[in-house]
Amino acid sequence: MATEATGEAGKAVGMPQLDLSTWPNQIFWLMVTLVVIYFVLSRIALPRIGAVLAERKGTITNDIAAAEELKLKAVAAEKAYGDALASARTEAAKIVAAAKADIQKDLDAATARADAEIAAKVAESEKTIVEIREGAVAAITEVARDTANELVAALGGAADAKTVAAAVTARLKG
pLDDT tens profile 65-124: 999 999 999 999 999 999 999 999 999 999 999 999 999 999 999 999 999 999 999 999
Domain that includes residue 55, residue range:
23-130
Q: Within a domain: residue 66?
A: yes
- Number of structural domains (the chain) is 1
Per-residue pLDDT at 3:
46
pLDDT at 16 over 70: yes
Q: Within a domain: residue 163?
A: no
Distance of CA 13 to the CA centre of its chain: 92
**How many percent of the chain have pLDDT more than 70?**
92
Q: Within a domain: residue 162?
A: no
Q: Within a domain: residue 151?
A: no
pTM of the predicted model, to two decimals? Answer: 0.42
Q: Within a domain: residue 60?
A: yes
Burial of 168 (0-12, 13-18, 19+ CB in 10 A): buried
Residue 24 to residue 26: CA distance in whole angstroms = 5
Q: Within a domain: residue 70?
A: yes
Q: Within a domain: residue 18?
A: no
Compute the C-alpha angle 21/26/32, nearest 5°.
150
Q: Within a domain: residue 167?
A: no
Higher pLDDT, residue 19 or 30: 30
